[in-house]
A = this chain, B = another copy of it.
């Protein structure tokens, strides 16, 4: 039996915990395939993030405004889970936007449904803890990098982990994500290119 929209999610979860057919049904029944064009805002400032999204294809980001300027806070790509985490987790109105950078094919599930899965099914509870641990470790590493690496080191590391971002994510978002201005990223890229020759 084939579930084209859900296959990637099933494979990902199967790699974390053993997923039997019963649970495949749960995934297909609860995760709704949705598609959005580039630039769509899935969460707006002051609204509440009610869905968790799984990325089948496309690129998403969250951003907020600081002194009238956009700050890109998270960037995510296929096989990742994405939402406006601050609002989703707390249930409070979001101070950031969740936006499709490119056209996106996603699966979405309402927070209450997902939490109910986590609460009532031990396999899902295990997956929840694994996903949360990944998030914690990822954020810890990002913090360490911001504290102790130069902007150039952070750019090169992003390139290494996500070479696809270069062709799919505008440089100004990447600049903001690694914590520098677009002009500085330009200079860094120029410098990196000259070193590579």
A66 cross-chain contacts in B, Cβ below 8 A? 148
State whether the Cβ of A168 lies closer than 8 Å to any Cβ in chain B: no
Contact assessment for B143 and A143 in the assembled complex, using a CB-CB cutoff below 8 Å: yes
Contact assessment for A89 and B139 in the assembled complex, using a CB-CB cutoff below 8 Å: no
Which B residue's beta carbon lies closest to that of A73?
B144
Contact assessment for B144 and A143 in the assembled complex, using a CB-CB cutoff below 8 Å: no
Which B residue's beta carbon lies closest to that of A146?
B146
Leading 3 A-B pairs by shortest Cβ distance: A139-B139, A146-B146, A147-B179
| Bound form: Cα–Cα A68–B122 in Å | 44
Q: Taking chain A's interface residues, is the majority helix, strand, or loop, or is none over half, making it mixed? A: helix
| Contacts A/B (CB < 8 Å), 21 sampled | A64-B144, A66-B148, A73-B143, A73-B144, A85-B136, A85-B140, A86-B137, A86-B140, A118-B129, A119-B122, A119-B125, A129-B132, A132-B136, A135-B136, A136-B136, A136-B139, A139-B139, A139-B143, A142-B143, A146-B147, A146-B179
State whether the Cβ of A133 lies closer than 8 Å to any Cβ in chain B: yes
State whether the Cβ of A194 lies closer than 8 Å to any Cβ in chain B: no
